[in-house]
Amino acid sequence: MPQKDPASSIAVPPELGASSVAVRVTPGAGRTRVGGRYEGPHGPALIVAVGAPAVDGKATEAVRRALADALGVRAAAVELKVGATSRDKVFTVRGAGVAERLAVLRDGPPA
C-alpha cells in the first residue's frame, strides 16, 4: 500500500520510499562537488558545493540537480522541503537505495 508523504500530496510506493536529506550548501564554488559531512541545525548534513551564486534560487536549483545526479535519481524526485534562503536545507528525495548512497557520500565508504 502506498505511503503518503506528509510534505506533499503525492502517494509514494513503498519500494520508492522517500528520504529526508539535510544539506549544507556552498554557493559560488569553482566546481560542483557532492560529499563530506557537516554538523548542521538539521542534523548531519551532506556538503554540496555549486558554482551558481546564491541569488534568486539559482544555487538551490543547482544543488537540487547535483544532489539528484549524485544519488542516482531524476531531478524531479528531489524536492526542497526546508531552507529556501538558507545554506542549511532539507530535501525530500524519492527513490530506491537513496539512504545507502547518501551514507557513502556523507560519511565515506564503510570500513
pLDDT digits (tens, 9 = 90+) for 22-63: 999 999 999 999 999 999 999 999 999 999 999 999 999 999
Q: What is the reported pLDDT for 2?
A: 45
Provide the whole-model pTM.
Answer: 0.83
83 and 89 Cβ atoms separated by less than 8 Å:
yes
Contacts of residue 78, defined as CB under 8 A and 6 or more positions apart, other chains included, come to: 64, 65, 67, 68, 71, 91, 92, 93, 94
Q: What is the reported pLDDT for 12?
A: 45
Confidence of residue 3 (pLDDT cuts 50, 70, 90): very low
Q: What is the pLDDT of residues 84-106, one digit of tens each?
A: 999 999 999 999 899 999 999 99
